Amino acid sequence: MWPVLLALAGAFCLALGSALQERDAVRAPGGSVARPGLLLHLARRPRWILGTAAAGAGVALHLVALSGAPLTIVQPIGVSGLLFAIVLSAVFTRRRVRIGQVAAGAAVMVGLLGVVSLFPHTSVPPHLPLGTALVLAGVVAAAGTAAHVAAPLLPAGPRAVLLAVMGGAALGTTSALARVVAAGAARDPAAVLSWLTVLAVAVALFGGLLQQNAYRTGHFAAAYATLLIADPLTGAGIGALLLGEDLPADPAAQVVAAGAALLAIAGTAVLARARDRNPEARAEPPAPPPNQENRHDAVDPASPPPHRPTGRRR
């Protein structure tokens, strides 16, 4: 039970840290999707540093839990932080916690728990060659970069979901790499000093940049819910495909898992469409009226021609 309790405490710390980070992420200068310098700017903000420390404590508890249980057990417990995050964000920004948000958050939690709890709870010594880890990190980096480039073209809600999906994928990849490092360190503490650790830190920083940009949209609940979905599903998928952990083989379990996934996706869509944005987030620029972009250059054919003096001025 101790990995479960540590994972639950880590979920609360992560929710608290993320809610604190959001306050400064929405106020940071830059465009709708900020460049890597965003992390340097936020690193000078005491409240964001406090949030990072709380999130770091949550990650540390999460990693310790991973050393005693497989990804398919530890990762789903993180979804309990969603309701923590919704309530904490509303308290910090002095907003009411709406029943619809709580219901959508509960749907995400139930759906995600239904998906991942159906994975067989087996634990095998994980092993991941460095070459495979480099390819995995490269795929995540390429997909995340494409999302970072395309995100400014989207409205705030879909932009939050897109960035959080890729941020969650990066953090889920970090968890899978950390699972290998932590299991190795349990046998030999010197295993921490490896290239897998360096790679995990680099992928985590990239995921953090995408995560903070998702928070900048003001749709914190949708961003955090999407992050909680993408992170464990990515981690569990890597665990099943590369680390030797099993997938559900029973057709009935697969059907139930598909229904639970749809429930989680529906809850996230409700959160993304919610109009209750963080009031501190910058307003979205209004879209120009159709065919009116160059109105100052247009000439109304029904209007009289402008008067042009013909005589010379004396």
Where residue 164 falls among pLDDT bands split at 50, 70, 90?
very high
Q: 257-306, pLDDT tens digit by residue?
A: 778 777 877 777 777 665 555 555 555 554 445 454 444 444 444 445 55
Tell me what pLDDT residue 302 has. 44
40: which residues sit within 8 A by CB, 6+ positions away?
none
As a whole number of angstroms, the distance between CA 83 and CA 60 comes to: 21
Q: 68-81, pLDDT tens digit by residue?
A: 776 667 766 767 77
Of 268, 166, 160, which is closest to residue 223 (Cα–Cα)? 160
Q: Using N-to-C axis directions, what is the helix angle for 220-241 and 81-92, rounded to 10°?
A: 160
Tell me what pLDDT residue 139 has. 93
As a whole number of angstroms, the distance between CA 88 and CA 232 comes to: 22
Tell me what pLDDT residue 93 has. 76
As a whole number of angstroms, the distance between CA 219 and CA 151 comes to: 14
Q: 49-71, pLDDT tens digit by residue?
A: 999 899 889 878 887 887 777 66
Is 163 within 8 Å of 211 (Cβ atoms)? yes
Tell me what pLDDT residue 314 has. 45
Q: Please state the pTM of the whole predicted model.
A: 0.71
As a whole number, mean pLDDT of residues 120-149 equals: 83
As a whole number, mean pLDDT of residues 85-104 equals: 77
Q: 209-267, pLDDT tens digit by residue?
A: 898 889 888 888 888 888 877 887 787 788 777 877 766 667 777 677 778 777 877 77
3-state secondary structure at position 8:
helix
Q: Using N-to-C axis directions, what is the helix angle for 130-150 and 156-187, rounded to 10°?
A: 160
